[in-house]
Structures are given as structure tokens and as C-alpha cells.
Structure 1
Amino acid sequence: MSLTSALNTAQSIFNNTGTQSSVVSNNISNSSNSDYVRRQAMITTSLNGAQVVKISRAQEDALMRQWLKASAQDSGQQTLLSGLTDLKSIMGGNDYETSPATYLKTFQEKLQAFRTSPSSTIAAQSAITAAQDVANSLNNASTSVQAVRQGADKEIGTQVSTLNTLLAQFKTANDAVKSATSTGGDANDALDERDKILKQISSIVGVNAVDRSNGDMALYTTDGTVVFDTIPRTVTFVAQDTYTAQTKGNGVYIDGVLLASGTGSTTSSQGSLQSLLQVRDDIAPKFQSQLDEIAKSLVSMFSESDGGTPATTAPGLFVWKTSAGADGDVPTTPDVIAGISATISVNTAVITNQGGDPMKLRDGSISGLTNLNTTNSSGFSDNLDALFTKMNTAQTFSSDAGLSSNVNILSYAQNSLGWLEQYRSDATTASENTSAALSRSTEAYSNETGVNLDEELTLLLDIEQSYKAATKILNAVDEMLKSLLDIAS
């Protein structure tokens, strides 16, 4: 080896170790950054010696696609579970202390006590108070269900705005990747940034990423709707200011295509947006319908009739308001009356502090149509017996509410709680599964693309040894040159 070639070799080693040290240092400084993909200086050997030809990025496209899918599924499942937990909280704690079923059971007990002691003013007042508790629980539950829907609607608006912002940022990063790729520049930082944004997008709406020439990438929803293709597609949504049982939420449109809501306790949602739509438009409205069916049944069950042909009926113990604010009649429709649970109340004719007489419940004279206690007997209990029997008699409920119709009202109210709890329990199990799947995907992806400090530090030691070897070559060449100069002199 000539002195010139030895110097060239040393210079090549210095250049290579400098580049390698820079790459390893960058890896180490980003070891805690989950959005950073490990770099490696690729060295090749030719007639001109060893040299760094490129900085390679340890990207694993298959693992990335699997991570995006797991992330979208977990985000959707966790969002659904959060909405179901909010609905459960409306009913109180684990014992459902504030649920209509709890207050209905108490009311039934008070009604039983009243029919046993029909002359007792205290028993009458206790039954009326228990009836007020039932009505108030239905009112509060209905209001809270609509608050959950409104909260979901607001969150949808926030996430749509965030999604549009992320898509704009994705275009900037994608353009940077294409520019660097076409000019032969370093696209690694731009790729990291694009992947980071892609991860955030997938948690809102599940997407399939399609690689194209020149480093370009296009995004599509799982059902094929274009989300990004050269330019971001607009995501639109109009939020509602207030929610009632009659309110229908607006849809989310991606590039003019309606985004479907999720279905099932193990939700089909890909991303949080579809689960928010599921809570707002499916689960909460169905729970609202169950509350409305309980209220409708109460109004009908405790209504009063004059016994004529044809009979004239009117609401008795329980009354309600229509959506227009008018006093409601005795419900005759087999369908759900949307929002009746929000307006049901106890007739003022039996409320003492409003000038009413609780004994009218005993006598069947609340509406003023008739008085069943014609002899004004203090021991009259026929009407109370009939009302108690009705509460234990199977009723017909609308199938639109999603529950069995051939049960009594207390069983129906308890079945409503069971429906919600079963839905939440199944969603909890599914959320544990999606969380575990995401954890495994994250670990697999990180193992392939993340920075391992032990490996980097070991590599740094190897680079140091290469640097030392280069210095020894340089020192040897220096000694030889000195010897030659000494001979020449």
C-alpha cells in the first residue's frame, strides 16, 4: 500500500465514522420519541474504498399498516366504552340508585302500603312522593341522555376540525417527501413527520395508506372513500346547538360521502368519529326510547275513564306535555313517543303543597271524569288494588326500543338497565382485546423501527474503534513521511 492510498483510506474512515457518529447520536437523542424511526448509515466497499452511500430508515410498511388498523379499532372501541360509561353514570352508582327502575320499585312498595291502609293520609302522601320521584328520575335521565348526545355532537365537531387540520399538515409533509425523493435529498425527517400525522389521523378515522411513485402516498377510508389524494379532501359537519329526543344529528361527510356510524358492542368503528356517531345516533336514542316507553306506560296505566260508551279517558296520576308544549292525552299509539319521559310529571291534583288531595289516587278522581269511591268510604281500596295489579301485568312496549314487550313495567325498567349493562360489559371486554392488540402491534413495530440504546451504544463503540484505527494509520503514515524527509535531508 502506498502512502497516498493509506492517507485516502484514513480519510475515508474519518468521513465514514463522522457520518456514522452523527446518525447514531441522532438515534440516541430520539430514543424516547415514538414517532422517530431508527436510521442507519449504509456503507459499501469499492475500488475507491469504503464509503457511506445513504442513510437508511428502518421502516416496516407491513407492521405500520397493522399498527394503523389496531390503532383505529382501539380508538373506536375506547370511545364507544366511554360513551356507555357516561350513560351508566346517569343511573347512579353500581346499584343504579337514581334509575327509574329503583324508584319504580319504591313506588310499587308505597302503593302496596297505601292499598293496605287506604284511610292513611301518610300512606297516601308517601305514594304520591314516590310517584314524584319516579317522574323526576325519568326527567333527569332523559335530560342526561340528551346531554350525552350533545357532548358527542360537540366532540364530533372538534374532531372534524382536527382532522381537516391534520390532512392539511399531511399534504405539507407528503410534498416534502416527494420533493426530497425526486431530488435525491434526505427524506427521512419528512417521512417521520408524515407517519406521525398519519397515526393521528387513523385514531380519528381509519385509513388505508397506499404508496405511490416518487414517495407519494394516498389515503382512503376502509370503505374506499378518498381522504387524501394529492390534496386533502374536505371533511364537513354541522353541529347542533341543543339536543332533545326529537333532534336528529347531522352526518359527517368526507369528500361528500356520508361516514357510517359504528355498530355493535364490539364496534365496527374504525376510529373515534364512527363511535361518536354510534353513541349519538344509535345507543343513546335507543336508551331514550326505553325511558319514553316507561313514561308512556305509566301515563296509560294510571289514566282514568268515565266508563261511558264510548269511554272518555284522561291522564290520571301521571301527566305529560307534547313536543308543542300542550297537555298530552292518554297515549294510544303503539310507537315510541319521543321525549315523553322528559315531560312526565305527577298531576297537581294530588300534590298537597299545590292545593291537591292525595286521596284522589285512592278514589280514582284525579282527572275529574269520575269518582270510583261513590260512598266516600275511608276503607275503599278497589282502585288501588286495580292499579297495583296493572303494575304487575305484562304490557305491550314498542319493539323500536329494542327490548322484550311482554313484561310488566318494573321488569321492563330493569331490563333496560340490563340492556345497557350488557352492552357496556361486552364493550369493556372488546376494549381490553383491542387495547392488547394495539399494545402488541406497538411492540412489534417498535422492535423493528425503534431505537435500542444498548445496540446504539455498542455501535458507537465500534465506530470509536474504527476511528482509532484510522488515527493509527495516520500516525504510521506520519512516521514514514518523517523518515523519508530525514533520508532526503
Structure 2
Amino acid sequence: MSLSAAMKTAQSSFSNVGLQSAVVSKNIANASNPAYARRAAVLATAASGATVVETQRAQNEALLKQNLLSISKTAGQDTLLAGLTQMKTMLGGEGYELAPSTYLAKLRDNLQAFADKPNEVSLAETVVADATDVANSLNSTSAALQKLRAEADADIDTAVTELNRLLKEFKTYNDKVKQSTAAGTQDNDALDQRDKLLTQISEIVGVTTVTRTNNDLALYTSDGTVLFETVPRTVSFEATTTYTAAVDGNQILIDGVPVQAGAGGNTSAQGSLAALLQLRDHAAPTFQKQLDEMSRTLVSMFSENVETPPGSGTFLPTDGLFTWSGVPTVNSPGLAGVIKVNPAVITSQGGNSMLLRDGINETFNVDNNASFSELLNGYAAAFETPQTYDPDAAIDTTGTILAFSTGSVGWLEQIRSAATTASDDKNALLGRTQDALQNVTAVSLDEELALLLDLEQSYKASAKLVSAVDEMITALLQAAG
């Protein structure tokens, strides 16, 4: 090897070490950045020895797609579970102390005690107080459900705004990637940012990717709707500020196509939007329907058959212990929110609790008999009499009021339990897919520090080569005189 060739080799080595050191330094600086993919300087053989030809970015397309899918499923499941847990809290948590079924059982027991001792005013007051507790439980749970729906609607509005922002930003970095690829280079920082945005988008809506010319990405939702193709598609939603049981929320439209709500405890929702729709439009309304059916049944059970008009021989059911205000009929949506105890039996409102025994709308105890219990026994018997319920309530259509109210709690617990199990499974799968992707793309400090040591040795070898050439040139000059 000539001295000039040796110097060129040393210069090439110094250049390579410098470039490789810069790449390693950048890797180390971003070791804690989850959106950063490891870089590697690629060497190729040249006339003057090895040279750095490009900086490659670690990536795995299949693992990235699997990770995006896991993120979407986990986000949807966790969103649903949070809403169902909030619904459980409305009923008092683990013991369901505030559930209508709990208060109905107390009402039944004390009503039977009153029927056994119909002359006890204190028992009458207790029954009225229990009835008030039942009505309050139905009112508060119904109000909390509508608040949950309003919060879900507000969350949808926020998520849609964020999704539009992310898609707009995605276009910026996707254009940078296309331009660099077309120019024969690779913008690794833009690729990092694009993948980071994909991760954030997948938390909101399920997304699949299609790679096109110049590494251009097209995005589609999990059901095939175009989300991004050269330009972002419009995601639109009109928020509803006030919710009642009779109010339906607006659709989410992506490129004019409605987003479908998730279904089931192990929800089919991918991303938070579909899960929020499931809560707002399915889970909460179904539970509201159950509350309304309980309320309707209570009004019916405690109604009094009054001859109307008197002497006509025609008897019509008239509100007894329970009545309502606001909604037009007993079958209208939202009855649970407005059911109340008849003021005629509430002492603090000028009523008389003993009317429950004698009759609220007309006197059935015409002889003012202290042992009169015909009405009370009828009310107690109604608790054991099967009633018919709307199939839309999603539980048994025939059964006693206590069985139906308990079934409502069971329905919520069943779907919440399924959601909890599914959440654990999907989070575990997400953890595994993230680990697998990180094993390919993440920076290992141990590996980077070991590579720095190798580069240090390469630098020392090149320095020794330069020193040797310098000594040889010095000796040659001295010999030439």
C-alpha cells in the first residue's frame, strides 16, 4: 500500500467514525423517546475503503400494523369500561346500595309489615319514606345516566376536533416523506413523526394503512371508510348540549359515512369514538329503558281502580302511591326521571300517610276500620305477581318487579364483567405487541455504548495509521537529506 493510499484510507475511516458517532449519539439522546426509531449507519465498499452510504431507520411494517390494531381495540375497550364503571357507581358501587332494587326490597318488606298492622301510623310513614327512597333512586340514576350521555357527547366532540387536527398534521409529514423518497433520500425524522401520529389517530378511530408510490400512506377506518388519501377527509360532528331520555345524539361522519357504534361487553369498537357512541346510544339508553319500565310498573302496581264517573260501573286505574310529572304518559321515555310519591300521602306536604290504607282518590275503607288491609294486601301481592316488560329493556320480559330490578343490576354487572375481562386481555396483547415492536425499533443503551467503544477502537486504529505514515514520511525526508 502506498503512503497516499494509506492516508486516504485513514481519512475515510475518520469520516466514517464521525458519521457513525453522530448516529449513535442521536440514538442515545432519544433512548427514552417512544416515538423514535433506532438509526444505523450503513457502510459499503469504495475505492478508498468502506464508506457510509446511508442512515437506515429500524422498522417493521407488520408489527406496526398489529400495534395500531391493538391500540385501537384497547382504547375502545377501556373507554367502554370507564363508562360502565361510572354506571355502576351510580348504583352505589360493589354493594349496589343505591340501586332501585335495594330500595324496592325494603318497600316490599315494610309494606307487608304495614298490611299486617294497618292501624300503625308509624308503619304508614315508613312505607311512604321507603317509596320516596325508591322514587329518588330512580330519579337520581336517570339524571346521572343522562349526564353520562352528555359527557360522552362532549368527549366525542373533543375527539373529533383532535382527529381533524391529527389528520392535518399527518398530511404535513406524509408530504415530507413523499418528497424525500422521490428525491432518493429518506427523511427519518418525518417517518418518526408520521408513525407517532398514526399511533395517536388509532386511539381515536380504528385505522388501516396502505403504502403507495414514494412511501405515500393512505388511511382507512376499520370499516373501510377513507380517512386520508393525499388529503385528510372531513370528520364532522354536531354536539348536543342537553340530554334527556327522549333526545338522540347526532352521528359522527367521516367523509360523509356514519361511524358505527361498538357492540357487546367485549366491544367490537376500535378507537374511543365507537366506544363513546356505544355508551351514549346503546348502553345508557338500555339502562334508562330498564329504569323507565320499573317506574311504569310501580305506577301500575299502586294505582287505584276508581269508578269513573261515580255510579257508572266503569272503573279506571288512577294514580295511587306513585305518580309523575313532566312526561305526557306513563309509557313516555324518561319516566324514571320524573316519577314521584303522591303528595297526598306525604305528611310534610300536607298529606296523610294513612290514605295509602284507606284510598287516595276515594275512600275504600268506608267504615274507617282500623284493621282494614284490603288495599295494602293487594299492593303486597303485586310484588309477587309477574308483570310484562318491554323487550327493548334487554332483560326478561316477564317477572316480578323485584326480579326485574335485580335483573337490571345483573345485566349491568354482566356487561361490565365482560368488559373488564376483555380490557385485561386487550391490554395484555397491546403490551406484547408493543414489546415486540420496541425490540425491533427501540434504542438499547447497552448496544449503543458497546458500538461507541468499537468506534473508539476504530478511531485509535486510524490514528495509529496516520502516525505510522507520518513517521515514514519524516524518515523519508530525512534520508533524502
TM-score range, shorter chain: over 0.9
The residue number in structure 2 matching 1:395 is 387
Separation in structure 2 between the aligned mates of residue 257 and residue 323 of structure 1, nearest angstrom: 34
Contact 2:67 2:430 in 1 (8 A): yes
Q: 2:442 aligns with which of 450, 457, 469?
A: 450
Whether contact under 8 Å (1:293, 1:337) holds in the other structure is: no
8 Å CA contact retained: 2:12, 2:48: no
How far the C-alpha of 1:485 sits from its partner, in A, is 1.0
- Take 2:276 and 2:200, find their aligned partners in 1: how far apart are those partners? 17
> Residue 310 of structure 1 aligns with which residue?
314
User: 1:56 maps to which residue?
Assistant: 56
Residues in 1 aligned to 2:378 and 2:478: alpha-carbon distance in whole angstroms: 127
Alpha-carbon displacement from aligned partner over 1:385-428 (angstroms, at most 9, x marks no partner):
11100011111011110010221001110110010001000100
- The alpha carbon displacement at 1:313 in A equals 2.0
Matched residue, 1:354: 349
Question: C-alpha separation between the residues in 2 aligned to 1:346 and 1:237?
Answer: 40
2: CA distance between counterparts of 1:53 and 1:337? Answer: 74
Q: CA deviation at 1:150?
A: 0.6
Query: Residue type matched to 2:314 in 1?
Result: P
Structure 2 residue matching 1:448: 3-state secondary structure: helix
Shift of 1:183: 2.0
Residues 193-223 of structure 1: CA deviation (Å, up to 9, x unaligned): 0000010000100100111111211100111
Q: Secondary structure at the match of 2:135?
A: helix
Q: What TM-score does the superposition give when structure 1 sets the normalisation length? A: 0.96
User: Partners of 1:480 and 1:392 in 2: how far apart?
Assistant: 111
Given that residues 81 and 416 in structure 2 are in contact (C-alpha distance below 8 angstroms), is that contact kept between their aligned partners in structure 1?
Answer: yes
The answer (yes or no) to whether the contact 2:77–2:423 under 8 Å persists in 1 is: yes
Superposed, 1:131-142 pairs within 5 Å as 131-142=131-142
Which residue number corresponds to residue 379 of structure 1?
A: 371
Q: Percent identity?
A: 50
Tell me the SS of whatever aligns to 1:35: coil
Task: Render the CA deviation track for 1:268-309: whole Å, top value 9, x for unaligned.
Answer: 011111000000000000000000000000001101112564
Cα distance in 2 between the residues matched to 1:455 and 1:140: 59
Structure 1 position 322, deviation (Å): 4.2
Of residues 255-264 and 184-193 in structure 1, the stretch that sits farther from structure 2 once superposed is 184-193
Q: State the match for 2:167 in structure 1.
A: 167
- Please, which runs of 5 or more residues in structure 2 have no aligned partner? none
- Tell me if structure 2 keeps the 8 A contact 1:296–1:337: no
> What whole-Å deviation, never above 9, does each CA across 1:144-196 have from its counterpart, x for those lacking one?
00011111000000000000000000001101111221223441000000000
Query: In the aligned structure 2, how far is the partner of 1:486 from the partner of 1:309?
Result: 139
- For 1:297 and 1:337, the matched residues in 2 are separated by 13
Unaligned stretches of 5+ residues in structure 1: none
| C-alpha displacement of 1:254 | 0.4
Moved more, 309-318 or 231-240: 309-318
What is the aligned counterpart of 2:338 among 340, 343, 348?
A: 343
Contact 1:160 1:236 in 2 (8 A): yes
Is the contact made by 1:77 and 1:266 (CA closer than 8 Å) also made in structure 2? yes
CA distance in 2, matches of 1:179, 1:165: 22
- What is the CA–CA distance in structure 2 between the aligned matches of 1:123 and 1:89, rounded to whole Å? 31
Alignment counterpart, residue 413 of structure 1, candidates 372, 390, 405: 405
SS in 2 for 1:455: helix
User: What does residue 114 of structure 1 align with?
Assistant: 114
User: Counterpart of 1:208 in 2: which secondary structure?
Assistant: strand
Q: Name the structure 1 match of 2:462.
A: 470
- SS of alignment partner, residue 40 of structure 2: strand
**1:260 equivalent in alignment to 2:264:** no
Note if contact 1:238-1:250 (Cα within 8 Å) is conserved in structure 2.
Answer: yes
Please point out which of 423, 436, 441 is paired with 1:431: 423
Which residue number corresponds to residue 209 of structure 2? 209
1:100 partner amino acid: P
Measure how far apart 1:353 and its partner are: 1.1
**CA–CA distance in structure 2, aligned partners of residues 309 and 415 of structure 1:** 39
**Given that residues 265 and 427 in structure 1 are in contact (C-alpha distance below 8 angstroms), is that contact kept between their aligned partners in structure 2?**
yes
TM-score computed with the length of structure 2 as normaliser: 0.98
* C-alpha distance in structure 2 between counterparts of 1:487 and 1:481, whole Å: 10
User: Which residue in the other structure is 1:33 paired with?
Assistant: 33
| 8 Å contact kept, 1:290–1:416 | yes
